[in-house]
Structure 1
């Protein structure tokens, strides 16, 4: 079932995301022109421009950190740092804010991966299953 539809589907979509994602692993991949892929399990891909990985006490790394040295000995490789941190973790919960379209993927160790909506009109992230477009999420949820 394709979910590209009206905002009224947002609550159902959030429940389905959790069903689809729980127990899966994630892998982040840097794409072209600032685009990122978040592979969830073997079938699902989220495409977004911005994300952040939150640890137990602070932000571990964000897409905005990528390539910046920030006073460190070498520039941050956000892809490598996120994947090293998430290696072996399994998704324990998924939440989608129906007002904003913000997505939070929670892991079994208390860490979380967040994809936020950064525009009032732009669809900030898109979901694909085996390469097939499922839906886009922006302000006010599923579109």
Structure 2
């Protein structure tokens, strides 16, 4: 039975951040809708629901495309609208900053983990693949 190849840590982290950000964006849309209904905010319904739910769907789509290089760039671009939404409600900007920090952390730590995994696999491959310098010296001493 062959083991499945391990998924990239960067892929897992970026997908998780964008999926969770989609949920946070959905709740942000609901908060803005509540503020609009209470008269605290004046946003057109088409902008609130169309733009908000479109953003949520786009975040979900971007989460699924993180395996592609352009998917990563889309993830970067999608960090901006959450920050801009802070103009309507400042707490949304705080949440946007937190997700931006998570995005950057996921990319950095994921990249580091992926590099360390590749180094470990390369080291294991060279150890199994042929004699090392220590093995050659031991064989020369026996001869």
Which is greater in Rg?
Answer: 2
More helix by share: 2
Q: TM-score, normalised by structure 2?
A: 0.26
> Structure 1 or 2: larger strand share?
1
